[in-house]
Structure 1
Amino acid sequence: MPTLSALLWPFFDAVVMVVALIALTRFAGLRSFSKMSGYDFAITVAMGSVLASVIVTKSTGPLVGIAALAALFAVQAVLSHLRVGSERAADAMDNAPLLIMRGSQVLEDNLAAAKMTRADLMAKLREANVLQLETVQAVIFEQTGDVSVMHGECAIDDEILQGVRATI
C-alpha cells in the first residue's frame, strides 16, 4: 500500500511541470503547440510523454523534466528557424499537400497514397457540411495530416492551391 507522501508527490510534480510548461510555452511563443508540420506534432507528443514520465516515475524529478522540455522547445525552435530560412530544409521536413478530390471527382490513386478510405473522405466531407458532391471544388490532404475541404460557389484562387501535388 503506497504511503500518503508517495501519493502526494505526483501532485507536486504535476504542478511544477505544468507551471514550467506554461512558462516555456509563453517564452517560446504561439508556435509551441501548433500543427504546422509533422515535426511539430512529434514534439508535442514528446512533451506530453516527458510530462507524464516525470509525474508517474520517481526516478526523474521535475528539474530533469524541465530540462527535457526546454531541450524539446529548443529543438523545435532550431527546426522552425531552418524551415523558414531554407527551402531545402523545408522540403526535407514537410510533406507536400496532396489533392484528394478535384471537383466532385475522387482521385483514387491519391486517396490510396494518403492511406485514406472512401469512408474517411466522406466523413471529412460531412464534417465540412458538404451537402452535395457537386459543390466540392477540392479536397486536400494537408502536410499536417488534416483534410481541407473547399466547397461552395466561388472559384478557388490558384495561389491557394500553390504547392499542392495533383498526382502522386
Structure 2
Amino acid sequence: MDPIFFDTIVALLRTAVLGVLGYASLVCLLRISGRRTLSKMNAFDLVVTVALGSVLATVMLSKDVTLAQGGLAFALLVGMQYIVTWASVRQRWVRQLVTGEPALLFFRGDYLSHALVKARVTKDEVRAAVRAAGLADLSKIEAVVLETDGSFSVLGNRSVGDASSLEGVTTPGQDRRRQ
C-alpha cells in the first residue's frame, strides 16, 4: 500500500527544492516576458495562467517530471503567450480570434435581447452590474457592455459629445459600432 501521510524525507526534500526552484524560474520568466503575461485580460490569458500553475504543480509533485522539463514547459507557455499577444496588438484578426469582442447588452434604456441571449446573460445580471457600479436608475444608464474578460462595464448618461468608449463594441444587426 502506498503511503498516505508520509513517504520519505527525501520525497519531501525533493518537493521543497523543486518547488523553490520551479517558482524562481517561473518568476524570472514572467519578469522577462512583461506584465501582460499574467494580466486578467481575457479567457486566453486565464488559460495560460492556469496552465502555468498546473506545470508548477506537476514539477513539484511528479517524480516523472524534471526541473528542466518544467522550465521548458514554462518557457514554451510564456513564449507562446508573448507571440500571441504581440500578434494580437498588430493584427486585428488575431486579436478577434484570441479575445473576441465586447458586446453591448443594454443601450439607452433598452435591453438588447438578442445580445443577452447570445452572451448567455440575464437581465438580472445586467441589473446587478448596474448596482455594483453604484447606480440605481436604468434610465440614467447609457450602456452596459460585456467585456472580453467577462466583466461588465456600466456607462452613465453622456454629458457632452458621443459615446466614443463604445467604439468597437458589437451590437445586434450591426457588425461593429462606430468603426
Please give the range of the TM-score, normalised by the shorter of the 2 chains: 0.7 to 0.9
Q: Is the aligned partner of 1:86 residue 2:91?
A: yes
Cα offset, 1:45, TM superposition: 1.6
Cα offset, 1:118, TM superposition: 2.7
Residue in 2 aligned with 1:145? 150
Which of 8, 13, 19 pairs up with 1:14? Answer: 19
Q: How many pairs align?
A: 168
Q: Deviations over 1:47-73 (max 9, x none)?
A: 111112212211112221111011011
CA contact (8 A) 1:135 1:153 kept: no
Residue in 2 aligned with 1:132? 137
CA contact (8 A) 1:97 1:163 kept: yes
Q: Deviations over 1:71-122 (max 9, x none)?
A: 0111011111211222232233231110011133221221111111233223
Cα offset, 1:150, TM superposition: 1.5
* Identity score, percent: 30
Distance of 2:97 and 2:50 partners within structure 1: 21
TM-score after normalising by structure 1: 0.88
Cα offset, 1:155, TM superposition: 5.3
Distance of 2:161 and 2:12 partners within structure 1: 57
Distance of 1:41 and 1:107 partners within structure 2: 28
Runs of 4+ in 1 over 4 A off after TM superposition: none
Cα offset, 1:38, TM superposition: 3.0
Alignment of 1:101-112 (within 5 A): 101-112=106-117
Structure 1 segments unaligned to the other structure (5+ residues): none
Structure 2 segments unaligned to the other structure (5+ residues): 174-179
User: Bigger radius of gyration, 1 or 2?
Assistant: 2
Cα offset, 1:124, TM superposition: 2.0
Letter in 2 for 1:61: T
Cα RMSD of the aligned pairs, angstroms, is: 2.0
Relative contact order higher in (CA < 8 Å, ≥ 6 apart): 1
Letter in 2 for 1:28: S
TM-score after normalising by structure 2: 0.83
Distance of 2:117 and 2:160 partners within structure 1: 26
